[in-house]
């Protein structure tokens, strides 16, 4: 019998490429992750990781074991959700930024709905400031938004690299001052983009602002400006900026998943599913 926690850590390493990244995903220390991998290798009876430079890589057996680990965890999770959700009822209110609503959430919410058919799901898609305020006022059970700082009710934190993006056809009106599209403040992406450009004294101008991501996407697609987001914003007509623009590096965007204290069984079930799956899906994004 293999502890599912060992498999989760193994997959975090396989998908993240390093023990340090795996430690971040599973919220354990690097030494604890190393001990878990040694324990898993003892149970399997084969070496799953091998030295590779300063880090580790998967052995051929380890690469083969990735598929087995995914299937075991999927079966474990589906059984757990089915048993927990068969008689669950009530309502769950989930608040999320558009970043996840357009990418990873639909599949996970579908899985939750199938296993908890009697639970009503209320979704609030918006910006971090409004979602966080509603959560702190008790109007939302679970919130998935940009991280404002450490919090006792955080279940997991996610880090996505910020990247510069533009229309695939390029900028419509090339200018000595870089045209930038941003969301209205407060916005972590806006602050990071401006700080990065100012740090290298790169001339720029705010060519477009919007209160919503749909407006920001329209501005970028039109070719009137570049913007700073994560890879979740990539899509039809939007690509990473070409290297010749020589734009400065950006920091990681941090998101957090928070569960309201004393939340009921249904919100707790959904939060656990999201906490288990979002780090894996983010690592593969």
pLDDT at 244: 87
**Is pLDDT larger for residue 24 or for residue 128?**
128
Given a cut of 60, whether residue 207 has pLDDT beyond it is yes
Given a cut of 70, whether residue 90 has pLDDT beyond it is yes
> What are the tokens at 165?
């993006």
**Is pLDDT larger for residue 269 or for residue 118?**
269
Give residue 256's pLDDT band: very low, low, confident or very high (50, 70, 90). Answer: very high
pLDDT at 284: 45
pLDDT at 266: 87
pLDDT at 173: 73
pLDDT at 87: 54
**Angle at the Cα of 128 from the Cα atoms of 97 and 155, rounded to 5 degrees:** 75
Domains of the chain: 4-84 (1.10.10.10), 89-157+254-283 (3.40.190.10), 160-253 (3.40.190.10)
pLDDT at 83: 63
**Is pLDDT larger for residue 86 or for residue 62?**
62
- What burial class does residue 271 get, using C-beta atoms within 10 Å of its C-beta: 0-12 exposed, 13-18 middle, 19+ buried? buried
Give the containing element (helix H, strand E) for 5: helix 4-16
Helices assigned H by DSSP within 86-235? 98-101, 105-115, 128-136, 188-199, 213-221
pLDDT at 137: 92
- pLDDT, average across residues 165-183: 87
Average pLDDT of the chain to the nearest whole number: 87
> What are the tokens at 226?
């570049």
Beta strands 55-58; 204-210: pairing state = unpaired
**Is pLDDT larger for residue 121 or for residue 81?**
121
Q: Taking a C-beta distance cutoff of 8 angstroms, is the pair 62, 195 a contact?
A: no
Give residue 103's pLDDT band: very low, low, confident or very high (50, 70, 90). Answer: confident
- The lowest-confidence range among 78-82, 185-189, 194-198 is 78-82
Give residue 73's pLDDT band: very low, low, confident or very high (50, 70, 90). Answer: confident
DSSP state of 91: E
pLDDT at 200: 94
Q: Taking a C-beta distance cutoff of 8 angstroms, is the pair 72, 2 a contact?
A: yes
Given a cut of 80, whether residue 85 has pLDDT beyond it is no
């Amino acid at each position: 019998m293999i502890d599912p926690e060992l498999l989760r850590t193994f997959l975090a390493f396989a998908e993240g490429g390093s023990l340090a990244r795996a430690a971040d995903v599973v919220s354990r220390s690097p030494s604890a992750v190393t001990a878990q991998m040694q324990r898993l290798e003892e149970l399997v009876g084969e070496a799953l990781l091998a030295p590779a430079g300063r880090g580790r890589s998967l052995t051929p057996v380890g690469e083969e074991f990735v598929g087995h680990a995914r299937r075991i965890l999927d079966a474990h999770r589906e059984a757990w959700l089915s048993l927990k959700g068969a008689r669950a009822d009530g309502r769950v209110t989930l608040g999320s930024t558009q970043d996840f609503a357009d990418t990873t959430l639909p599949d996970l919410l579908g899985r939750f709905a199938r296993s908890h058919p009697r639970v009503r799901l209320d979704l609030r898609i918006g910006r971090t400031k409004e979602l966080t305020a509603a959560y702190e006022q008790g109007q939302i059970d679970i919130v998935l938004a940009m991280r404002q700082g450490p919090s006792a009710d955080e279940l997991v934190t996610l880090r996505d690299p910020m990247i510069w993006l533009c229309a695939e056809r390029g900028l419509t009106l090339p200018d000595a001052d870089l045209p930038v599209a941003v969301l209205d403040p407060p916005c972590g992406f806006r602050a990071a983009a401006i700080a990065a450009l100012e740090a290298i004294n790169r001339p720029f101008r705010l060519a477009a602002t919007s209160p919503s991501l749909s407006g920001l996407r329209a501005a970028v697609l039109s070719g009137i400006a570049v913007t700073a987001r994560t890879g979740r914003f990539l899509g039809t007509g939007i690509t990473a900026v070409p290297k010749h623009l020589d734009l400065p590096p950006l920091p990681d965007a941090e998101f957090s998943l928070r569960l309201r204290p004393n939340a009921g069984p249904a919100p707790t079930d959904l939060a656990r599913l999201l906490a288990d799956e979002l780090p894996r899906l983010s690592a593969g994004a």
